[in-house]
Amino acid sequence: MPITKEPKLISGNANLSLAKGIARRMSMHRGVNTQLVDTRVERFNDGEIFVEVFENVRGEDMFIIQPTSNPANDNLMELLIMSDALRRSSASRTTAVIPYFGYARQDRRTKARTPISAKLVANMIVGAGIERVLTMDLHAAQIQGFFDIPVDNLYASPLFALDIMKQFADRLSDVMIISPDVGGVARARELAKRINAPLAIVDKRREKPGEIAEMTVIGNVEGKCCIIVDDICDTAGTLCKAAEVIMENGASEVHSYISHGVLSGPAVERITKSVMKSLVITDSIEASESTRAAPNIRVLPTAPLFAQAILNIWNGTSVSSLFDADMLEPIYEGIF
């Protein structure tokens, strides 16, 4: 087997701009020009996906950059078919870089006769020949255990901490971190510890999926600059309602930091018209034109984080070192 001289990146159609950004950052880090492997990923008239790799990948350490965001099924199939193409082309190792892991919200059986789709997707990924997964802010940490291969789960929390300390530098003492539900307390507490801020919780009760019956703020938010922290914002109904309730309880202003901006349906319009002063998301999912045009939505780049994580995996060094904001600060120098 030939010795691998450098990592090789390949991308599907889900988030090409992020893939190109990762390639640029790796070029900067290494002083060696890194380009995406020349690939054709297209669809036949009946919707079937076809992949052709135009470069030799025999014995190479391959990284497929492909979030499984909307359309989740198409992007997932692209990932699986690309992996199969690389395996049949004798790639040495294939790592799936999945900035946003679709189907993660179906991580357990909530009632009788329902699937655990996250486990099914994990089985499909392993069966396609992928030997390692790199992702960010899994909706449920136990999903790592669904895989029989190594899974590196990065966190947006250090990135958010850096941004908050810059954006709110003159009023950090007034900042309070808010968990929009009881299930997200651990995530919110982690960020609160990083910036030494107090924590409050919005307790919500649902009558049925997609409908919120009641919301209550647990904690004193009066006069505070509140920052809601969550991993996913889909239709933004819960987020905007939580912001309203927090303002009704006396907060001076409300901002939100969300790892994955799914922002489907009326989400962007809701956010634009909401009481939130700003919503900060990452580019784990490619932002739509309406998202980019929204006056109160800002996108943080994850390319420096993923580029360094890929290099650490390739070099066989620690990925968990990137959980520390002090390690990320030099990587993001000039961005914040």
Q: Are 259 and 156 in contact (CB under 8 A)?
A: yes
206 appears as a binding residue in the annotation = yes
235 appears as a binding residue in the annotation = yes
From the list 204, 208, 241, 273, the catalytic residue is: 204
Q: Of 176, 184, 130, 131, nearest to 156 (Cα)?
A: 184
Known catalytic membership, residue 224: no
Per-residue burial over 209-242, b = 16 or more CB atoms within 10 Å of its CB, e = otherwise: eeeeeebebebebeebbbbbbbbbbbebbbbbbb
236 appears as a binding residue in the annotation = yes
- Cα end-to-end span (Å), the chain: 43
| CA distances, 19 to each of 34, 89, 149, 207, 289 (Å) | 11, 22, 23, 41, 18
106 appears as a binding residue in the annotation = yes
48 appears as a binding residue in the annotation = yes
234 appears as a binding residue in the annotation = yes
Taking the CB of residue 309, how many other CB atoms lie within 10 A of it?
A: 23
139 appears as a binding residue in the annotation = yes
238 appears as a binding residue in the annotation = yes
105 appears as a binding residue in the annotation = yes
Q: Which residues are annotated as a binding site for D-ribose 5-phosphate?
A: 206, 230, 234-238
Q: Which residues are annotated as a binding site for Mg(2+)?
A: 139, 181
Catalytic center residues: 204
Residues at the binding site are 46-48, 105-106, 139, 181, 206, 230, 234-238
